[in-house]
Amino acid sequence: MTTYTTSTTRMTGAAVGFAAVVCAVARLLVSGDGFDRVWAEDGAVFLSDTRAYGLGSVVAEYSGYGHLVPRLLALIGSWLPLGYYALFTVLASSIVVGLLAWYVFTAAKRVTSSSVWAFIAAIALVLTPAYRAEALGNLANLQWFLMPAALWAIVDPHRTHVAAILIAAAAATTSPLSILLLPALLIIHGRTAWRTPVAAALAAGLAYQAIVRLIGMHSVANPAPRSPGAYVGMVFDILKQASSTPWAPLVAGAILIAVILSAWFIGARKDARAAAFVVTSALFVAVPTVLNGSPQPRYIACGFVILIWAACLAAPALQRIHAIVLATVLVVSALVTFPADPYRLSGPSWTSETNSACTTGTREVELSPEGWGSIRLPC
């Protein structure tokens, strides 16, 4: 019976993962030709660095940190004919999100024992309203899917499985903000947190980030001196940027305090998992907002999907009518905001630009969204 149940869960999870891929692509296509746009960093950073450094690009630093998963995918995409790169980035990123949704479903099913709420948790990874703005269909924003998915690796009873370890490692090697998962690790596992394979995977990924930051080569998009003075200057730049919009850190701080108090109340009711999710949701909204100086859709999306998951954890214990209302609200909000923001598709056609660039001798191709940069082709 156990073998049958596990096999059925895996097959259902695979179907949910496929549905997530379809949803991610559909959200782009209903807004325009989502297969024919290259997101800014996917071209100007990852593709350019792959051409400049080859395999060495996987240890190149951009914007202060390493991006291992996007760089590995861009390396694969660079082997294809140039005209297919746009299609590749959309499909590759959507497939990664689908695989994460597959894992979220199986982990959530093990944790909640509910196929319905496991499905809602998994599909939320692509249907959460705020993801429509900038995160879908590009390599650069995969970190905002990897990091929340790694939260399930922390609470998953099968966290010693290869999938959980790989997702935690992928998240940490793609963004140093994965350090924000550590409070959840402590809330769930307490003193034994550091003995778990997931903790080791996160630590290894953060070590990679430190190495890239200290000795990795610079992206061709933003070469900068790597000196003690440069690091000090970077800190002052962050503080200056934050001070230019003082309301953002204040609002983020207020939200953080409110949700931590809520999490304390939840934790006092012996639901450590829900407390961990609520705290992590707050951290992923508040900390990037303070560092950036203003809230961005990707921060909101990451925090909101984790908050949805906290509701999914609590939902099996709710009265039936309350669970139905909660599920209805989530479904309606997803349907109303289904189409991706057309702004992210506002750049020119990648196919026509690459076909004409070398013919006309311009060699410079604009990326998407409009005004977010360009890439010089090796005609």
* Tokens, residue 314: 């609590």
More confident of the two residues 190 and 347 = 347
Residue 274 pLDDT > 70: yes
Quote the CA–CA distance of 278 and 344 in Å, as a whole number.
29
C-alpha dist (Å) from residue 375 to 51, 137, 172, 345: 11, 19, 28, 17
The confidence score (pLDDT) of residue 61 equals 92
Quote the CA–CA distance of 378 and 376 in Å, as a whole number.
7
The confidence score (pLDDT) of residue 5 equals 52
* Tokens, residue 82: 């140039």
- pTM for the full model? 0.86
pLDDT band at 86 (very low <50, low <70, confident <90, very high): very high
Residue pair 120/312 in contact by the 8 Å Cβ criterion:
yes
Residue pair 69/173 in contact by the 8 Å Cβ criterion:
yes
What is the residue-averaged pLDDT of the chain?
83
Residue 242 pLDDT > 60: no
The confidence score (pLDDT) of residue 269 equals 47
C-alpha dist (Å) from residue 295 to 65, 148, 180, 275: 20, 18, 17, 23
Q: Is the peptide bond before 81 cis (omega within 30 degrees of 0)?
A: no
* Tokens, residue 78: 């660079």
Quote the CA–CA distance of 155 and 168 in Å, as a whole number.
12
Place of tokens 């905001």: 337
Residue 16 pLDDT > 60: yes
Taking phi over 0 as left and psi of -120 to 50 as alpha, with beta for the rest, 145 belongs to alpha
* Tokens, residue 179: 């350090």
Q: Which of 88-102, 115-129, 276-290, 327-341 tops mean pLDDT?
A: 88-102
Q: Name residues whose C-beta falls within 8 Å of residue 27's C-beta, 6 or more positions apart in sequence.
A: 126, 127, 132, 136, 338, 339, 340
Q: What is the mean pLDDT of residues 150-167?
A: 88
- pLDDT, tens digit (0-9, with 9 covering 90-100), for 34-53: 899 999 999 999 999 999 99
Quote the CA–CA distance of 335 and 211 in Å, as a whole number.
43
Residue 214 pLDDT > 60: yes
pLDDT band at 167 (very low <50, low <70, confident <90, very high): very high
* Tokens, residue 171: 């998240």
Residue 174 pLDDT > 70: yes
Q: What is the mean pLDDT of residues 48-67?
A: 92
Q: Name residues whose C-beta falls within 8 Å of residue 176's C-beta, 6 or more positions apart in sequence.
A: 65, 206, 209, 213
Beta pairing, strands 374-376 & 364-366 = antiparallel
> What single-letter DSSP state applies at residue 44?
I
E strands in the chain: 364-366, 374-376
The confidence score (pLDDT) of residue 2 equals 45
